[in-house]
Amino acid sequence: MPRFPTGLAFRYSLEINQSIGPFVPRPRCPQCAFSLRNLGLSHDARLVNFGAAMRALINFLGIMLVVLLIGSAISVAQENSGQRLTGYVPRLSDLMVVIQIRHSKLFYAVKRGNWPLADFELEQLTSTLKEAGTYYPKTVPSSDLTGSTEIKNAIAEAIKAKDEANFDQSFAQLTAECNRCHEAADRAFIFIRRPAFPSTFSNQLYGPRPTEQQKRGH
């Protein structure tokens, strides 16, 4: 069935035909018209192809989203790992000063009968020892921490029982363990002792040890 011009094309044809004579509807050029028939596609075929293209696009976007999420997670993990590796690491000497202070406070807490404080200071001392072993495993090996753990348990039992005599015995063992570690690390000149008077740093011998004086010939 012939197709007739409509819209602008119809008005344009009408004006031309009025100028040359009576209007006679003329079909559009079948060779110039663009239609689905020229492409060999029907209207239904175009809808099917469009739906397939949209599904493919959605799948592609979904895959890209997953890739971006995985990449972001990996980046965050690497960043956090880098922060752990490059984060602040306290010097061993600083950790030892903290341990020395905890050692003294633990002793004075027991002597003043403040057992909750003694228990707290013992936990803090043990925690700092573990930090030293984590950051400096060659200087503070795990074998040394094992012996300290046994002594720590004995001190904890004495604190729980509010037994000052057993505490003194276990505290002396802890102090000796500190000096043994110093000797193993070639730091025998750092000699820890039972606090002599109410002072934070009275638990260290600052003068030469008798054995060192003998070595020097004094």
Domain count, the chain: 3
Same domain assignment for residues 135 and 189? yes
Same domain assignment for residues 144 and 196? yes
Q: What is the pTM of this model?
A: 0.58
Mean pLDDT over each residue of the chain, to the nearest integer: 77
Runs of H (alpha helix) within 21-163? 36-39, 43-86, 92-111, 115-135, 142-161
Side chain identity, residue 83: Q
Same domain assignment for residues 153 and 96? yes
Same domain assignment for residues 26 and 61? no
Which H/E stretch holds residue 210? helix 210-216
User: What confidence tens digit (pLDDT) does each residue in 162-196 have?
Assistant: 999 999 999 999 999 999 989 988 999 999 999 98
Same domain assignment for residues 196 and 172? yes
Same domain assignment for residues 162 and 188? yes
Q: What is the CATH number of the domain that holds 129?
A: 1.20.120
Task: Quote the domain boundaries for residue 16.
Answer: 1-33
